[in-house]
Chain A
Amino acid sequence: MTGSFTPGDRVRVIRAHPPGHRRTPYYIRGKEGVIERICGAFPNPEELAYGFDGRPAKTLYRVRFRQKDVWPDYAGAEIDTVDVDIYEHWLNPA
Chain B
Amino acid sequence: MADDRDHDHDHDHANPLHNHPPLQPDDESPPGRHEVMTEAMRELLVEKGVLSADDIRAALENIDSWAPSKGAQIVARAWTDDAFRKRLLADGNAALAEFGIDSGGAKVTVVENTDRVHNVIVCTLCSCYPRAVLGLPPDWYRSKNYRRRVVVEPRAVLEEFGLRVPDDRAVRVHDSLADLRYLVLPRRPEGTDGWTEEQLAGIVTRDCMVGVAEPRPE
Q: Which A residues lie at the B interface, using CB under 8 A?
A: 23, 25, 27-28, 39-40, 42, 45, 60, 62, 67, 70-71, 74-77, 79-87
Contact = CB atoms under 8 A, between A and B. Distances in A.
Nearest to A64: B172
A25 B173 contact: no
B107 interface: yes
Given A75-B153, A75-B155, A76-B154, A82 B173 contact: yes
B175 interface: yes
Contacts of A77: 155, 167-168, 170-171
Interface string B129-159: 0000000000000000000000111111000
A83 B177 contact: no
Given A80-B154, A80-B170, 17 more contacts: A39-B109, A39-B179, A42-B178, A42-B179, A45-B179, A76-B154, A77-B170, A79-B168, A80-B155, A81-B172, A81-B173, A82-B175, A83-B173, A83-B175, A85-B175, A85-B176, A86-B178
A83 B78 CA distance: 23
Interface string B21-65: 000000000000000000000000000000000000000000000
Contacts of B167: 76-77
Contacts of A81: 170-173
Contacts of B151: 27, 82
A54 to B, nearest CB: 11
Contacts of B153: 75-76
B178 A60 contact: yes
Contacts of A79: 168, 170
5 contacts: A74-B152, A76-B155, A82-B175, A83-B172, A85-B178
B125 interface: yes
A76 B168 CA distance: 11
B171 A85 contact: no
Q: Which 6 pairs of residues, A with B, have the shortest CB-CB distance?
A: A85-B178, A79-B170, A82-B173, A77-B167, A42-B179, A76-B155
A71 to B, nearest CB: 5
Contact of B152 (A71, A84, A85): A71
Interface string B157-187: 0000000000110111111111110000000
